[in-house]
Structure 1
Amino acid sequence: MNATRLMLLAPLMRLVLLSATGLVMFLGMVLVALQPATGWSWSPEHWRSLDETHPAIWASLLTGLLAWLISSWVWALKPGHIPAMLFAASGFATLAFCFSSFAPWIAVPMKEETVAWIWAVNMLGASAFGIIMTCLFLIYPSRLTNWKTLSVLTVFGFGSWTLLRTFGPFQDFAEVQRITTFEMLAIVAAVIWQFRSSASDPRRRAIAVWLGASTLLGAGAFIATVAAPITLGFSALILENYAFSFFLVIYVGLAIGLMRYRLFDLGSWAYRLVFYASASIALILLDIALISFLALDPGQAFGISLLLVAFAYLPARDFLWRRIVQRRRATDDDLFHLVLDAAFKPSEQERTAGWKALLQDHFHPLELTEVDGAVAEPGIDREGISLTVPGVAGIPSLRLMHANHGRALFAPRDTGIVMHLVRLMEQAETSRSAYDRGVSEERLRIARDIHDNIGAQLMRALHSAMPDRKDAMIRDTLADLRDVINNAQSPVLPLDEVLADLRAETAERLEPHGVSLRWSLQADAGIRLIPSTIHTFRSLVREAASNTIKHAGAKRLDVHLRITPHKVEVAIEDDGSGFDLATARLGQGLANMKARVEGMGGEFTLAQGTSGARLLAEFPHEVAGP
């Protein structure tokens, strides 16, 4: 426990110590800046007010302090990381040249030797910043080819140049701008090299793009406004002390890159940063051009600049954003059709293959493998290298590796897309299951109808001794077969007419086998039943008659029908040999009858009657309209 606490407290202690060092130096320089022109004084009443100090002093102080705090924070969290160490060293160098850059603005009288030493610190700090940054980008995010040799050449070359111009007979403090200009160019070259060398690794490329954007923006702005004009013999566009604030862009970008914060978003952030910065630069340059060449009023020039940027630059930026950063995403309609195509494959193996093909076509991963165990939610692993997809519809969980053919990282938006696809697949699976159940039920219905009705009709025709009657029965059987295939029952008929035909048909079937029929009916006059109800009790009576003929050895069959406006009751009993309820098993016909009745929400009972078998069925029905 104590070791764990020390591990947690160590970064905090380092951060406090480093921050305190920077703050003490900051307060010391503030104290120097507030001194009166007459000399040093410890009494605050003699100090200059904040309004009397030049704003450039505060710009330098704040830039140096923030650079030191940002870099020391990263180093405190990653003390053994060499890039973090170099980052912290660059922060100290920035602290040095920022804190020593406002010597011309302070009011304390100083000797010439003191001023020279201040300028020397400024020159050494500025050159050290460029050297350290160049070495940092030679090893991060990956170590470039011959990085050791290049690091030595950088340190020796720029270091020698700086020392010769800082001390001895070649002293020239104005040379610092030329030195930093070439150092900035070396930094830019290292960043571009990092970007090119990271083409095969999306993680390194994301960091390189982000670091490149932030570095090019910060260094480029300083070179364009201060270093390059002075190197070419012109005046700086803005005060050097103000231009130091551009370095904060580099420090924020490096801190995010070194901490690998939201690594999968760094690429898109970099492009946004470049787009927004270029918009600002375009607006400023256009405004300057309108004022300089057309002699427009500053207010008019600024308004025209905003208008031109809005109508020309922003559409171009959106076009480039879609072409460079955003991969083409399928629409909801496309995804829905792709999911349906995968979900309605006939077998589980084909559905799995279709689901994998869908993910492959959408994300273009280099690898797609199955994951052991269940995954509840999609997730990004290994800093955007892999994306886990939950299992769905009997398909195992999957892991996708290296998005967009290895050229991109998976981002949070991809988890949202996966969740959307999973929900679509679940809905499609539900629909497919309902479809399969419907197909199975329809097949079962056809099998029952053929067994119960067509079979009974053909048996009836088989035992008929009259050719004309047999032909008529076969024609009726063909009509019933068409009803079975089309699931279209006969038109709604009056109840008495339907039951009269069924009674005559049943008596005719039983007569050749010496079985008499006793038929009773209780029903209100004028009731008209829907076809499904008629088909159900017709099938019950036909199957019961068939069983009596084939199995019962009976002499009589009693059929009793009771029909109310909302319920049908059927009781069928024979006087045959009966059966043992304890050992009896339902055959295909009886099982079909039971399924029909229960499918309509009714009850089916098979019992031992007075001498033979007794069948009882009760089910609700709807009365057909007129």
Structure 2
Amino acid sequence: MALRRKTPADRLFYAILGLSLALVAVIYCAVNQPSSHLRFEVKERQKISVFDGERLILQDVDSVAISAAGGQNRIQLNANDFTEDPHFVATYPEMQQFFIKQSQVHQLMSQHQQIFLHSGDHSSSTPYPVNIQPKRTLRDLPFEFWFQLAVSSIGFLLGCWIWALRPNEIAPRVFALLNAAYPVFAFSAAIYSTRDLALNAELFRVLVAINTGGALLYGCALISLFLVYPKQLIRTQWLWAIPIFFSVWWLLDTLFLLPEPSMGGDLPVTLQMLGAILCMVWQWRANRHDPRAKVALRWFALWILVSSGTFVFLVQSTQLLDIQLNMSQGYSFGFFLFVTIGIAIGLKRYQLFSLDRWAFGILYWLAGAILLVLLDAFLVMMLSPLMSLSLAILICGLVWLPVRGWLQARLLQRKKLSDSELFERILQVSFAVNEQERQLQWKALLNDLFQPLNLEISEQRNHSQIEDNGLVLYIPQVAGLAAMRLSYPQQGRRLFSEYDQQLIQNLLPFLAQAVESRVAYDNGVREERHRIARDLHDDLGAKLLSGLYQKDVDQAKQAIRQAIAEMRTIVNGLLGTGVELNVILQEFEYEVATRLQSCGIELNWQQNLADTPITLSYAQYRHYISMLREIISNIMKHANAQKVTIDISLLDSQLVSVICDDGAGFDGQTNQLEGNGLKNLRERATELSATLHFQRLPGTQGSRVELIFPLS
């Protein structure tokens, strides 16, 4: 049995799980330290000020001291003892002395519930009593602590997001490693840079080593990233040389074997940034003939260098050069957040890492999930232990749970189409105005059905098919709609199933029938428009031209009346209303009499219809009158007749029309090849479901044409 292939949501879930465990460990370590609630500030010229909450206790002193009751175990502290990072001290002996004092202070705070603060400048000053709490609370942790955790977590999740969508490619892997190193150095620094007075020395050393290792790992990944993206410049195995080299450097720093601390933390990070810049220049030259790669590289390098470079040159390099900017290391970690902003914008504008805009779907889901967790945590913090149980239950049950359910439905749950909605959407596809719009409607329907991360046109398949262990669903071409390839359903949170495939198989025939019906309807509309145009041109136009060239005013008026009647008939046909047979025959009798009279032919009109009004459809009218006109035209052209008799009657719900002449005579078999007239007559007879008979009368007595069609 094949193992289930992990989706992007699976990978992100494991990443979030690991991040959550790390956050819990960091917060646990931070709160499980003794607390004095004192705040120490080191200002210019290494002057120290001490605050108890907002109350100023000591101001601008060179040193302070703490002791137990009676001045026992007195420990003298100077500005170096309050530095954020031990690498900021000048020498390794000073760093070792720093750790020794940290251990002494931590031990003093752990063994006494109250200690005393002294001004180091005035040994005779009254000591200030300080109550020691065995642990810190979450509210005791400063904003700087949470800031470092937040920005590094966002960066980590961004890297995991890119990796989850492209797990098998080298560039997303290196980018994920880059962002995985972010919380490594930020989490450890968050603990010791926001400490109360001191940490246990052994814990402090471990945290500093982790921080330095994470920073060097970040720099190694940054160099490697510019060696593999946009184009891989060296073999993958050669990339290992970078972390191996800096691992040796990290080991020398951890063992205090370098000349000074700044060479262990600041110098290698600065060199790594310079190396990344050189690799970026190398990439630029390697891609100088690829405009698209150059645009992506320019944008990518801009944000990487702005974020990481600002931190390195404003924090690390200033320490290396002994320049004091008084910028908190914790807040400076926020510069790395520019990577997140730059990559997010670059994904949308330049498709970095070959990701399209669909990649934001899974990020939206991730943000929604994190938002719910944060809201849960906020509610837990707001409901203090002093609040009564009944009130807490009331708030959770009546307020929070309904609101949370609504948010979850809006942010995370899959939107499902009901049967009626699905039917309506299929009709929208079939009734689209053109093929392009129909294709867009079809894509929109598939997107709402499955919410895939990627939806694109693919090669033709004979039937729907699931591939890549449920990651991809192929949909065949149907009714002129292109074959589609869908991947990562429900924004990457699940796989395609047999149910999805069966749904498509049931949907396609119905869609095909609906689209084909629509196409047939469109064809009918076009044919009807063509017919109307033909009628307007052949009949109405002919009558208007006839009236235009009449010299006699009465004849011109009559031609115009006939044109108006013809136009009324066409309008009635468009409106779907029928035309009365008596009106048709009355107008046709006048028309035929006029035409025959102009040729010197006598008309004998006989009409025997019931008193019941008879209505013909527009199609029946057009075919019937056109056939009669064609027959009269043939008589006028070929028969050389003196008299024409037209007899119209009803027989068993059938309209029988007989036209006789006394001319030369003809029959439908011998004259059918003389032109298109007889062919058109037979075609119209077929449309009318009529029978058409031609008969030559005996001797030289002319011919007889009989037209019979059912009125139903």
The TM tier, using the shorter chain, reads: 0.3 to 0.5
TM normalised by structure 1 equals 0.47
TM normalised by structure 2 equals 0.43
Task: Identify, as 1 or 2, the structure richer in strand.
Answer: 2
Task: Identify, as 1 or 2, the structure richer in helix.
Answer: 1
